[in-house]
Structures are given as structure tokens and as C-alpha cells.
Amino acid sequence: MTILGTTLAMAFYLLQAVSGESGYAENGDFDDAEPDDYSFSCYSQLEVDGPQHLLTCSFDDPDVNSTHLEFEICGGLLDLGCLSFNKLQEMYFIKTKKFLLIGDSKICVKLGGKNVTCRKMKIVKIVKPEAPFDIRVTYREGANDFVVTFNTSHLRKKYVKDLMHEVAYRQEKNENDWMHVNLSSTKLTLLQRKLQPNAMYEIKVRSIPNTNYFEGFWSDWSPSFHFRTPETKGTELSLLYGPVSQIIRRLWNNCARNPKK
């Protein structure tokens, strides 16, 4: 660009900046109407009701007036071209056995039979698992630990069987101080010495698909379980952390390491 060109461009840019919304004013009554934003999100839940899958979509903007808006999915369906969604309040959903679980689908928002906006999606990449349930904590006095167990409906599913679970727990008085552990099984042990004695704890768990084929989102959190830790810190603690044991451990570590040198 020449210097003159650059100067002109800058002048034009400044003019636009100074005149603020002049760009819109030319559009007549555009100021009055909010630009329609029909962006939406969807998630799938496979085998939620026997062999039936559930696909749920909703507008990202909760204030969209959805009175006359419809959703439709085309492609990736068994024996069918397209399927219309049902509507329940602000949620649009389909319960069906007809998802191929291979290839792309196109999900469209429709107004008066016309496509307003469409998004391409793969049903298997937007999986939101069902929330785990029955989380419990059992104290094992002899072992000085807590066994955490929970259940998930995905153990009995054909498709989305492999999940990663995130267990979160906190001392109830430390509101935002959550500790997190990731695991793929439904059982976990927490060492007593890592928890405060005689304290109330809250614990919960959620899941996300953990395979290359099925991907998606975190499930909702399970209902919380609450438990109180025992008053004592456990015998293991005094043995492992007493000053004598520290000396013994240091000596032991030295002995264990030296032969390798």
C-alpha cells in the first residue's frame, strides 16, 4: 500500500471509529431488532432406555423465543433421511434406536419449514454419560484408609463402557477447596493421613467418555455423600511421621540406595 493509501485508510478507520454506530444507522430499523443468534448445543446419551438413545439440543442463549422454532436431524440415521425433535419447555430431544453411530449428521434449526441454521455433528463425539450414583465411603480401621465406591449405569452398556471418573472431595468447612482424583474403575482408596481427623467431608463423582471412538462431555455430578473422619489420626500416622521413624526411614533409604551405586 502507498503512503497515501495508508493515510486514507487510517483516516477512514478513524472516521468510522469516531462516528461510532454510523455503520448500523444505514440499516434503518436494524437498531431496534436484536440480531438473531440461534447458536445451539447438543449432547447424546446412548442406550439410556434399553436400546434407545437420547439426543438433546438447546439454544445457547436462554432468551431465544423458541415458540415457532423446530429442530431436525438429517444423516447418520438407519432407514430414515431426517427426524424431527420433540420439544419440552426449552429443550429439544429425540429418543430413538435409529442412530447409525457412524458418520456425520446435520442438525438444523427450522422456522416455518426453512433451515435457519445448521451444524454438522457426530453423535458419537457429543456423548454425555449418565451421572454416577451410590457413592459411599467406608472407613477401614485396620488399614487406616477409606474405601470409596460408586456405581454407574455404563457398566452394563454395550457402547459407552469406558469412562474416566473424576472424584471430588472437600472438607465441608473449606467451601471451594476441592481435591480431585481421576480414575477409570469405580473404586478408590483415600489414605486416612491425607484427611483431617474428626472432620465432615463431602464427596461426589462425575464421568466422561474415555475412548477414541466415543468422546464428549462431563456427566452431571452424582449426588454427594457426606462422612465424618474418626478422631484419631490412625496408628500408621505416628509410625510413618514420628521423629524416630523419620530417622529410621532416612537410614533405610540410604541403605537401599547405596548398593545400586
CB of residue 120 to ligand NAG, shortest distance in Å = 9
Spatial strand order of the sheet with 114-121 comes to 82-84, 69-74, 105-111, 114-121
- Of the pair 54, 208, the CB lying nearest ligand NAG is at 208
CB of residue 8 to ligand NAG, shortest distance in Å = 43
CB of residue 23 to ligand NAG, shortest distance in Å = 28
- Of the pair 153, 224, the CB lying nearest ligand NAG is at 153
Cα→Cα distances 257→1, 241, 244, 246, 260, Å: 70, 21, 20, 16, 6
Instruction: List residues binding ligand NAG (CB under 6 A).
Output: 65, 67-68, 74, 106, 108, 113-115, 118, 151, 166, 180, 182
CB of residue 86 to ligand NAG, shortest distance in Å = 18
Q: Which residues contact 167 (CB under 8 A, 6 or more apart)?
A: 135, 148, 150, 180, 181, 182, 183, 188, 203, 204, 205
Closest CA to 137 of 238, 231, 230, 209: 230
- Of the pair 118, 247, the CB lying nearest ligand NAG is at 118
**Identity (one letter) of the amino acid at 46?**
L
CB of residue 138 to ligand NAG, shortest distance in Å = 13
- Of the pair 105, 192, the CB lying nearest ligand NAG is at 105
Q: Which grid coordinates are listed for 79?
A: 432407514
Q: Which residues contact 91 (CB under 8 A, 6 or more apart)?
A: 56, 57, 58
Q: Measured between alpha carbons, how far is 219 from 129 in angstroms, rounded to an integer?
A: 5
Closest CA to 127 of 90, 167, 99: 99
- Of the pair 15, 118, the CB lying nearest ligand NAG is at 118
Spatial strand order of the sheet with 145-151 comes to 133-140, 145-151, 187-191
Cα→Cα distances 68→35, 38, 119, 241, Å: 17, 12, 19, 68
- Of the pair 115, 246, the CB lying nearest ligand NAG is at 115
Closest CA to 40 of 129, 140, 143, 118: 118
- Of the pair 186, 234, the CB lying nearest ligand NAG is at 186
